[in-house]
């Protein structure tokens, strides 16, 4: 995937609220900066990737180890990796579940927010499909990973996720994954 392809994917997103509209603009601008937009070490403003994992059981959230908030799995994009590959890798690491992208791949949401150590994350949020099995994260990941129905996820999650989760709840039937 090229940066031009990524820009096109981002531009196709219909923002759920003013925060996402601003985040889309900021992320498109960030992709124009010199250097690697994904490198955590090159710049304290970098693009990350996460996923809304859905199944017939709802959506996965995990209690972030450092932040103490309920969010979707995700993290940094490794060198040589695309964001859509990174969200799968991070999700497998954080949930222990086998997951896959929809066909075609769905970049669903974008959010810019503060990260650790004074960094800013430009988070690309994809939709992944997982088997409706119980998560089993590895020992070095948060043990608190669960499926939630969408109402419970919206109630439990970091408040900034509410609009995206509401949109996901409406869209999930169209994805052919949930009831």
Distance CA 164, CA 161 (A): 5
Tell me: pLDDT of 67 over 90.
no
Tell me: pLDDT of 1 over 90.
no
pLDDT for residue 110: 98
pLDDT for residue 66: 83
Q: How confident is the model at residue 176 (pLDDT cuts 50, 70, 90)?
A: confident
Angle subtended at Cα 171 by Cα 167 and Cα 175, rounded to the nearest 5 degrees: 150
pLDDT in tens, 16-26: 999 999 999 99
Q: What is the pTM of this model?
A: 0.95
Tell me: pLDDT of 145 over 60.
yes
The answer to whether 35 and 46 have CB atoms below 8 angstroms apart is no
Contacts of 168 (CB under 8 A, 6+ apart): 52, 54, 59, 108, 127, 150
Distance CA 179, CA 176 (A): 8
pLDDT in tens, 36-48: 999 999 999 999 9
Q: What phi and psi, each to the nearest 5 degrees, are found at residue 52?
A: -95, 105
Domains of the chain, each with CATH number or no CATH: 3-172 (3.90.79.10)
């Amino acid at each position: 995937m090229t940066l031009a392809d990524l820009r096109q994917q981002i531009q196709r997103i219909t923002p759920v609220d003013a925060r996402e509209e601003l985040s889309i603009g900021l992320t498109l601008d960030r992709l124009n900066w010199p250097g690697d937009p994904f490198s955590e070490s090159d710049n304290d403003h970098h693009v990350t990737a996460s996923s809304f994992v859905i199944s017939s059981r709802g959506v996965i959230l995990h209690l972030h180890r450092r932040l103490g908030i309920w969010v979707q799995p995700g993290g940094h994009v490794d060198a040589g990796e695309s964001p859509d590959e990174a969200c799968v890798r991070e999700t497998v690491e954080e949930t222990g579940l086998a997951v896959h992208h929809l066909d075609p791949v769905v970049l669903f949401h974008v959010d810019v927010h503060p990260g650790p150590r004074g960094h800013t994350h430009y988070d690309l949020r994809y939709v992944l499909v997982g088997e409706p099995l119980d998560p089993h994260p590895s020992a070095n990941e948060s043990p608190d990973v669960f499926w939630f129905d969408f109402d419970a996820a919206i109630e439990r999650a970091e408040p900034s996720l509410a609009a995206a989760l509401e949109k996901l709840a409406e869209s999930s039937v169209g994805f052919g994954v949930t009831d």
